[in-house]
Structure 1
């Protein structure tokens, strides 16, 4: 196993900065490092106080950017659209400070989620997580960061009056990881997200998905990770979920698996997971000024996921100096030095980057 098989993470983080397949909004530069990375990780749930739906998903995201009140995540429970306005490993900007304490930067991570909906009409009513793969991805990302499936301050209040009566316990907020409503954060006076169903948020990994310890099936063998495998593809072949396999194998980051690694698996061991299609190396001559291709975008996204992105905006389909600088950073990560880290992809480094087919 070479070091190139692993996804690097910012200091103090243990899970992904980005969720695969999300819509990315804006510059992705909404906050900074956490003030108290030694404190437990948490989700903070908001509602947009707007209707749900695809059109609102895009317009509300634009509004949050315009007013400088971005969370890391925006989610539409109607369409299952999931968007990121910034990396999960940095702070959002959707909370007020608690005096001199910056609540946005509380904990190892503080993943803030704006859900399209209204506090007075909890969005979890009639919501079926089994039919919402992006919602499940969101919870899995939180679990990868170590966020426990608990509500330390209790269930979110059902009204503004109930929120005022319950108060906002500063000691609980600062010392306990888990899920919080905006209504439970010290220094804030909103009462969203309302009385959402805490069996759905945070919910539990499906027992039918092989979540041992929750009445699920037991492991029946091992699987050796092959080139192009992802935990998602392995889980799909076993009719289970990535987070269940991650828990079974003690993986803090579901993306952090290596070729040759042996994983405990559920179900039969004869089925072979479908490998994620990877973009073949297009040749060094492909990468030059004026090149416009979705391959460049896919490459840039992988460089960002590897912690090597040097982009002020993007990445995008045009080959730029930012792409070259980012690729040079990735080459240095692989151990290249001097003239070898020139920012122009070669066959070996390209294979290590694992760019998905565009």
Structure 2
């Protein structure tokens, strides 16, 4: 009799828990604000996360955190997320993607205590770690990070900071996988776009003095497709958004001058320094990387060396080199379905 009562109580508790979870977890897209995040002493921001929910498979598991690239916003993830929810050829169904709006874009606030233009990549990395903390406090526990371009170096910086403090992404946040869709290279590796001075040239070309933001890199909507959707011959690919769509969809955002100089290693800054093998197997988080044949910013040869540097995997088991005439830097926006199909054999999302 005692065992019967205990069994009934356990079943009832399980049912109540399932009902509570069903009520607590929204089955449509929603927003999260993480407020009063301290970047430095006396400098605070509020962070905005857009949570996209797979309405055909809402759940608490299989949640990703997405980190966008330079001059981009969380909105640039929408085409990829829609394709991922519709059909994920790389692995199981993904339930949610939480897309972070980095500082000063979306509903993420400007910093207190200094101008937006004075922010560094280090501040973005602090914001990323604070987002992981804030999401967990709100019951959103990503098991994978997916990043693009500048977002990928921020993930590396976050992992480096955690390792330096005696932990890592797996131990601290239970992050099992990191998927980098191209990546900025750290100071330890050659990067032709930076080393040639081309990166500093882009910074100078779009430098703007804004009365509110301070000194920023502000790329006009008209120039956005040519920078991020052009092939090696300078042709904008067929799936690229028009300048009007870039503005209407909220894809474009100014970048702080200091963070931009740090990104390309222009004076007075150096590119971020990252240790070798921060994603080696003993760290507990698997690194997958995709690199694109027609990417004018990060050629596959450079990102291949980065993958080996970060993992120690010279067999390139989790590296996908995506080839084709339209495999440009922002392939996740211009052809997300094609990207997912091309990486399915090498990357488990």
TM-score bracket, shorter-length normalisation: under 0.3
TM-score (norm: length of structure 2) = 0.26
Higher helix share: 2
- TM-score, normalisation: structure 1: 0.26
